[in-house]
Amino acid sequence: MILPLAEKVVDWATLGKVVVAAFTAGVVVSTAFALAILGATRSVEMRRSQRGLEATGFAVLGVLGAAVCVAAIVGGIIVMASK
């Protein structure tokens, strides 16, 4: 009974797009931040163990994860400022 009333008010297609975009962004940003932390901590551990090549690989992983997080923040600010 409520659904027919909501059809007049709610644009279900747009709401679905928003939910999918929010879920995707949440998963991507959370994963990228986790990789940034993993890369930073493992890089330090590898450097202490005199394993330079592995340390560099983890450092690159950390920087890429951090870059994705920064890009998401900048993208969000740009979207909010343009509306």
- pLDDT for the residue numbered 8: 79
Virtual torsion, Cα 9, 10, 13, 15, nearest 10 deg: 150
38 close to 60: Cβ distance less than 8 angstroms:
no
- Confidence band, pLDDT 50/70/90 cuts, at residue 34: very high
Instruction: Name the pTM for this structure.
Output: 0.81
**Mean pLDDT, rounded, for 34-57:** 97
**Residue 1 pLDDT greater than 60, yes or no:** no
Q: What is the 3-state secondary structure (H, E, C) of 6-74?
A: HHHHCCHHHHHHHHHHHHHHHHHHHHHHHHHHHHHHHHHHHHHCCCHHHHHHHHHHHHHHHHHHHHHHH
Confidence at 26, pLDDT banded by 50, 70, 90: very high
At 77 the pLDDT is: 95
Assign 83 a pLDDT band (cuts: 50, 70, 90): confident
